[in-house]
A and B are shown apart, each in its own frame.
Chain A
């Protein structure tokens, strides 16, 4: 056992010893207290080995007390809620918690994969590159070797395993605005937040832990005469009283984006066994802040020496926190190894809590009298100018070996002391948590005194406070935070209140460390870890240097230093320092990588938010419920859900659409066309506007008539088609394809607003205003005659392309005699909320004619037979001439695309033209097949074009297709082949006119 719970009631300010919680770790039951983290509870229970390391499977224990933890990653919960790679230091303990170690089998204490430790240098930096993409070994078959070993390596690599089951929890998003966002609820954040709130600013304060207070938790330092802990609690209560303040605890600000947009994750229910009913597990906040105060503190760094990863080795301040905040000591016989004064503060605090601090080893050649006095006061032996050269121990540390440290050579002499210890606390200086400031651009600045990077120039409206800004010590922290608050308020035009600075009575300890990062031995023996999470050693860094990967960016990628879930929070600076030394340069000249969002790992659920089960919203026609009740296969067509076919019992989709299309040709069918884009075009200049938008003339379209129109892009290619109905002198109703409704609206709005703003035209999307039903087939008119009132449905009174108003069962309707199917057909529109009633009325009226509802497949079949183009032909690469619609391109007026449509390239021979294709051998034609001349499937030869829309034609009783074929119109009658090498099909076809049914339009006009 390497740790225990302190019995003193003065320690453990975060826990409630009266509330016992039981939890399970690696199948064994333990107990802890409310307020514990999993880490503190395990430490209290003497669990020293929490998992195994990434590459070498070395035993690892707790190293820190916060989000920077590199070692103690566990899999939390089970089943659908199982979540890997969660830091034990961040898991709030709850009754019934279940967690297990990772990357070890069968247990963390005895792991078979520890055999990797024997692989030694083989697993060094660049392992994959060297082994599988390296020089010609294995008979130049390195890639094939990779194929052989890939599965094994992939199984062995990585840490935890994600659940394959669907996550049952709810994740939400939230949008928020504020004047001042305060990131961090420590002393700096609290006072900055209060100053901003008192000035009347709307404040959001985010604290990553369950409670605010930060370094003041358990602090005996005095602020305005109150102990730090007490002051922090009073401050947060005052903040809560402000209506203009929102305090978000368990909330980590992850990212800093343009325009002062910050992203935070609130862990709403992660501290519970499961969320309450309807409660989200996590909430993703997008916060738009006018100004930001960043008070994120600093991370303590370790020192690098041989065997520095043994369980029982821990950051000094983390140990202090465990003692003060959770009432747990990490060992019974503690040693400390440091290069700075702050470790002494930790030592004294721990000693006050009852810790037995045996030895303090300080690499510095000299330390102050005050520091010596602290060591003496706690009864610790002080070894100045010495260093830990290596450690001993099997599953955990049992002894350290200490020798004299040469500050010039950075070498430690052979050990002169062997010190028995079960816990070694290390402190290598402090790195301000500048991540958010770095994410948004400002290049970090090296501070020689602090041996750390400080925030660079503020490229947005943020202000640093406290340790993050390099202002250590309580008095400095509070002063810098009040200054930051003043600046933030002034920047957004809010006058700060004149308040007295708080009176601080605390011991100010220097945080300036000696510039010592690594303790090297003359004899290279043992591993010295820089990045504990990715098992990157100091030798890996030097290897990268020797192999030419000397820039910090290359160093990171080649060694994986600073990657993984901790993103190098305890290792980055040390790694840079070792690379700088290898390069013979200063750290500031080597530079640092730019931190990227997120600050800590974010669950995929929080990113997905409400986009679960579907990735986009859906649009429903007014008749949607009827389609579903009728057994339709609903099909996503863009955002719209549309019936594909109405399958009868035992029918396949193909059988269903053949039956439906056949019924239309034989009698009458109806199809829901509510999804068509519909645009209301009004105004004195509406006709002129349409004339400029369409390639064919619209200026002379009579009232009560519709016209098929072609729309081109400026480059002359086809954009969309549809019919436009003239309802009145100044009023038109345009229809577009379903897919292009939005783009056409944008296209027209752009031209109206930007190109022709002088035109008096109104464009309003009325897609949702109108339900649309197409009635097609030789009996379609008879159906309408049976139910329409208010208009004469005779052929003479209602000719082809006519538009009329009428009524069906009191429902006002508009009817247009149009045909997409090639049959006599009508489109009937009514108000969307009358759509179902209209559909029912048409179905009733059509009973006598065996009316058949048909879906998208039959709709497509009918138009393919007729040779009408749709999306697959209007594919952005075709022009009107390609599709046989050249006659619709006016030469008498200017219109969008009228100049470039006449480009030579768009009219040259050899362009692909629309043709029909009939299967000659009964084989199904697949859309997207190549059209080739060769009958040999193995040698199909040059692609002459491709099929666009294919189906079985009930009218022609064979498979047919539309296609785009080089010089297609001149090849009608030729026998070619369609081939799809990917799908393994090859069949004979005859090139025919695309108008395969009713080419002269007799049925349509009949």
Chain B
């Protein structure tokens, strides 16, 4: 199989950018990016939501707690994006087919979005400060707890944000808009200085 080419491959080269790092210290803010092995949207029909949730729990060994809870393990991250609607990142390339087999049309729909998003991970004490420059959501832990996700937008660019831990966020950005989004994020992060690192997921 031909390797996937992310639009950010040419832009995110490892190194330090922006405000000079303190002598002998690395920047607090780390940014990496990845393409998804598999990314699917699963949609339940109006009366099949519970069944779909059960199926997803069995397939992923994750517990769907409802609301905006976005549980994750080594193989899957499930982000609810609407009633009966989930964006699921899987760490194996054949996950889309497996979901399609289990979720038959009578229960719901599975749409492959593996190529439709790139994921930018931003982590560090300054992550919230940088993100809050452009994204109009409350990043406090009370309003946006760890292991939850948000669908939001920045400057006409839609994105899904998954809070991995207090200071680490995965940003699922539309592929065609990734360069434009990066143009902003790079500028926003340069104030505090950041380091591009290899993908750590």
Interface residues in chain A, defined as those with a beta carbon under 8 Å from any beta carbon in chain B:
170, 172-177, 202, 276-280, 286, 288, 610-611, 616-622, 624-625, 639-640, 674, 680, 682-684, 729-731, 757-758, 760, 762, 764, 766-771, 809-811, 831-837
**Does B133 sit within 8 A of A, measured CB to CB?**
yes
Inter-chain CA distance A381–B111, complex, in Å, is 89
In the complex the two chains form, is A833's CB within 8 Å of B109's CB?
Answer: no
Q: Whose C-beta in chain B lies nearest to the C-beta of A268?
A: B191
How close is A257's CB to chain B, nearest CB, in angstroms?
Answer: 13
5 A-B residue pairs with CB within 8 Å: A202-B140, A618-B177, A766-B116, A769-B116, A835-B5
A173 and B134 contact, Cβ closer than 8 Å, known pairs A610-B184, A834-B4, A834-B115: yes
In the complex the two chains form, is B18's CB within 8 Å of A278's CB?
Answer: yes
Partner of A768, one of B46, B115, B143, B191: B115
In the complex the two chains form, is B109's CB within 8 Å of A280's CB?
Answer: no
Interface residues in chain B, defined as those with a beta carbon under 8 Å from any beta carbon in chain A:
1-2, 4-7, 10, 18-20, 35, 41, 43, 45-46, 105-106, 108-117, 132-138, 140, 143, 155-157, 174-177, 179-181, 184, 187-188, 190-191, 193
Please give 11 more A-B residue pairs, beta carbons under 8 A apart, in addition to A640-B176, A766-B116. Answer: A173-B134, A277-B20, A610-B134, A611-B155, A617-B177, A619-B176, A680-B111, A766-B111, A831-B115, A832-B175, A833-B35
Q: Note all chain B residues with C-beta closer than 8 A to A836.
A: 5
In the complex the two chains form, is A625's CB within 8 Å of B10's CB?
Answer: yes
Q: Note all chain A residues with C-beta closer than 8 A to B108.
A: 762
Inter-chain CA distance A288–B136, complex, in Å, is 10
In the complex the two chains form, is A610's CB within 8 Å of B187's CB?
Answer: yes
In the complex the two chains form, is B4's CB within 8 Å of A764's CB?
Answer: no
Closest 10 CB pairs of A and B: A762-B109, A833-B4, A682-B109, A831-B115, A617-B180, A762-B43, A769-B116, A619-B176, A768-B116, A177-B138
A833 and B140 contact, Cβ closer than 8 Å, known pairs A278-B190, A766-B116: no
Inter-chain CA distance A176–B133, complex, in Å, is 9
Q: Note all chain A residues with C-beta closer than 8 A to B143.
A: 177
How close is B128's CB to chain A, nearest CB, in angstroms?
Answer: 11
Inter-chain CA distance A278–B29, complex, in Å, is 15
How close is B34's CB to chain A, nearest CB, in angstroms?
Answer: 12
Inter-chain CA distance A286–B18, complex, in Å, is 25
A174 and B133 contact, Cβ closer than 8 Å, known pairs A278-B19, A280-B191, A760-B45: yes
A762 and B111 contact, Cβ closer than 8 Å, known pairs A174-B133, A286-B136, A769-B116: yes
In the complex the two chains form, is B10's CB within 8 Å of A837's CB?
Answer: no
A277 and B115 contact, Cβ closer than 8 Å, known pairs A177-B138, A832-B175: no
A764 and B156 contact, Cβ closer than 8 Å, known pairs A277-B19, A278-B190, A809-B2: no
Q: Note all chain B residues with C-beta closer than 8 A to A729.
A: 105
In the complex the two chains form, is A620's CB within 8 Å of B134's CB?
Answer: no
In the complex the two chains form, is B109's CB within 8 Å of A683's CB?
Answer: yes
Q: Note all chain B residues with C-beta closer than 8 A to A683.
A: 45, 105, 109
Inter-chain CA distance A911–B143, complex, in Å, is 57
Q: Note all chain B residues with C-beta closer than 8 A to A680.
A: 111
In the complex the two chains form, is A619's CB within 8 Å of B132's CB?
Answer: no
In the complex the two chains form, is A172's CB within 8 Å of B133's CB?
Answer: yes
Q: Note all chain B residues with C-beta closer than 8 A to A619.
A: 174, 176-177, 180
In the complex the two chains form, is A832's CB within 8 Å of B191's CB?
Answer: no
How close is A748's CB to chain B, nearest CB, in angstroms?
Answer: 14
Q: Note all chain B residues with C-beta closer than 8 A to A620.
A: 7, 176, 179-180
A831 and B4 contact, Cβ closer than 8 Å, known pairs A177-B138, A617-B181: yes
Inter-chain CA distance A760–B47, complex, in Å, is 10
A810 and B115 contact, Cβ closer than 8 Å, known pairs A176-B132, A610-B187, A768-B176: no
In the complex the two chains form, is A278's CB within 8 Å of B111's CB?
Answer: no
Q: Whose C-beta in chain B lies nearest to the C-beta of A170?
A: B187
Partner of A279, one of B10, B110, B179, B191: B191
Partner of B111, one of A674, A682, A760: A682
